[in-house]
Amino acid sequence: MDAERYDMTEKFYYGLVSVLILILCIFLAGCSSSSTTTTTIAKVTTQAGAKYSAGDIVTNSASSPLWMIISYDPTSDLYTRVEVTKNPDGSWNQITGDQDSFPRADMERIYPVLLTQVSVSSVPVATITIPTTVTTTLSGSGPLVSAVSPTSGSMASSVSITLTGTNFQNGAKLELVEAGFQPIVASGVSVTSTQITGTININNVNAGPANIEIVNPDGRSSMISFTIGLPTPVISSINPTSGTQGQSYTLTVHGQTLTDVQIVTLVSADGTNQVTCSQPQPSSTSVSCTLAIPDTAEFGLYNVNVITSDGTTGSANSSFTITNSTA
């Protein structure tokens, strides 16, 4: 019976110890789950520092314009800048001295090239020198042209020109002037106070209106109208060289610069008789027309004349013969 009691006591103690161990474990687990710690990591935001400092001269890839940094204000995040230029000797100048403020990020993005670094105080505002204007007072009166002789001349010809007027000076120039072309300066010029003469070779210009001008050595000038005509027609031969009263012929005139020929005539040596050759057909080297010789035409030698649209005339003297129909 004692053994049975001992066994029961031992089981009781074992059971109690197990319960205590279980309670302790539950308590420790509860403490562990209730002691969770949360850690917060602060985010630090830092503004980037300015890329440029006072005295930096910056530009873009095109090297224009050039800016010098005066200062940087971190509160407003603005650069103060001024436009500069480089002198031939390597020094620098402020162009106007006008300063302005510009956002840092835009300045560094638009003008990323740092050329050099200088002392701000060593870059002065450029001094602009205004040249002194010298006024020259000319004495006396300028030239005044009253007449020109002749009043016209043909292209590809040499014309002796005479201008008359007042206040012509020794050493004056005589020129042919046409818009769009270089002036043609006369040669063999002779000058008095009222007249100037010289020879002008009319080349490399167009037919049409122009001017003859006198230019005194002091630069004052005067001009008068002049007409440039077409080149003078040149007759080298005709065919046929004779015709009979009352007959019709196709007359062909050969030569040069005949393109603008409008009239072909036969004129007697004494100028009293004229026969017109109708319907002229010109080319550069010939002109053909219909020559109907009247029954009443005087027989004998005639000059053949060709006349251009501006009245320029080419002649072949005593080159055609009209014969008597009864001969």
Residue 10, SS3? helix
Are 154 and 78 in a shared domain?
no
Q: Which of 201, 229, 257 is the last residue of a domain?
A: 229
Say if residue 204 is exposed, middle or buried (CB neighbours under 10 Å; 0-12, 13-18, 19+): exposed
**pLDDT tens digit sequence for 53-83:** 999 999 886 556 899 999 999 999 999 999 9
What pLDDT is recorded for position 180? 87
Which residues, including other chains, have CB under 8 Å from residue 316's CB and lie 6 or more apart? 235, 237, 238, 253, 303, 304
For 11, residues 6+ apart whose C-beta sits below 8 A from its C-beta are none
Domain end position, chosen among 180, 211, 229: 229
Read off the pLDDT band of 49 (50, 70, 90). confident
Residue 104, SS3? helix
Q: Which residues contact 114 (CB under 8 A, 6 or more apart)?
A: 52, 56, 57, 58
CATH classification of the domain holding 169: 2.60.40.10
CA distance 245 to 116: 102
Q: Per residue in 220-248, pLDDT tens? A: 999 999 999 888 899 999 999 999 999 99
In a domain, 74, yes or no: yes
Higher pLDDT, 326 or 291: 291
* The predicted structure's pLDDT at residue 126: 81
Return the structure tokens found at 231: 């080149």
Does residue 213 sit in the same domain as residue 153? yes
Provide the residue count of the chain. Answer: 327
Q: What is the pLDDT of residue 302?
A: 96
223 and 239 share a domain? no
The answer to the question of residue 219 being in a domain is yes
Among residues 198, 229, 260, the one where a domain terminates is: 229
- Do 307 and 313 contact (CB within 8 A), yes or no? yes
- Residue 180 and residue 109 share a domain: no
Task: Give percent of the chain with pLDDT exceeding 70.
Answer: 80
Question: What per-residue confidence (pLDDT) applies to 127?
Answer: 75
All residues at 6 or more sequence positions from 185 whose CB lies less than 8 Å from its CB, including other chains: 173, 174, 175
Domain for residue 44, yes or no? Answer: no
70 three-state secondary structure: strand
Tell me: the pLDDT tens digits for 167-200? 999 999 999 999 889 999 999 999 999 999 999 9
For 63, the domain range is 56-122
- Taking Cα atoms as reference points, which of 74, 54, 76, 56 lies closest to residue 66? 56
Mark whether 304 and 242 lie in a shared domain: yes
In a domain, 275, yes or no: yes
Q: How many beta carbons lie within 10 A of that of residue 203, not counting itself?
A: 12
Same domain for 220 and 159? yes
Helices (H) and strands (E) in the chain, counts: 2, 22
CB 300 within 8 A of CB 322: yes
Asked, for residue 217, whether it belongs to a domain, the answer is yes
Measured CA to CA, the distance from residue 150 to residue 226 in angstroms comes to 8
Same domain, 295 and 252: yes
Tokens encoding 194: 């009222």
Euclidean distance between the first and the last CA atom of the chain, given in angstroms as a whole number: 202
**pLDDT of amino acid 38:** 46
**240: domain CATH number?**
2.60.40.1930
| 242-258: pLDDT as tens digits | 999 999 999 999 999 99
Asked if residue 32 has pLDDT above 60, the reply is no
For residue 316, tell me if it sits in a domain: yes
Structure tokens at 51: 């890329």
Verify that 219 and 284 share a domain, yes or no.
no
The answer to whether residues 269 and 301 touch, using CB atoms and an 8 Å cutoff, is yes
Q: Tell me whether residue 8 is in a domain.
A: no
Average pLDDT over residues 15-44: 54
Which structure tokens are listed for 199? 């020879």
- Helix (H), strand (E) at residue 100: strand 92-103
Query: Is the Cα dihedral 250, 254, 259, 262 positive or negative?
Result: negative
Rounded to two decimals, the pTM is 0.47
Distance CA 284, CA 286 (A): 6
Are residues 110 and 157 both part of a single domain? no
Average pLDDT over residues 21-39: 55
CA gap 38, 21 in Å, rounded: 31
Instruction: Indicate the number of domains in the chain.
Output: 3
Whether residues 202 and 250 fall in one domain: no
Note if the bond before 65 is cis, omega within 30 degrees. yes
CA distance linking residue 155 with residue 294, whole number of Å: 36
Mind listing the pLDDT tens digit for each residue in 88-143? 888 999 988 899 999 999 999 888 989 899 999 999 998 766 667 666 667 678 99
148 and 87 share one domain: no
Query: What pLDDT is recorded for position 26?
Result: 62
Instruction: Report if residue 24 sits inside a domain.
Output: no
Residue 258 shares a structural domain with residue 208: no
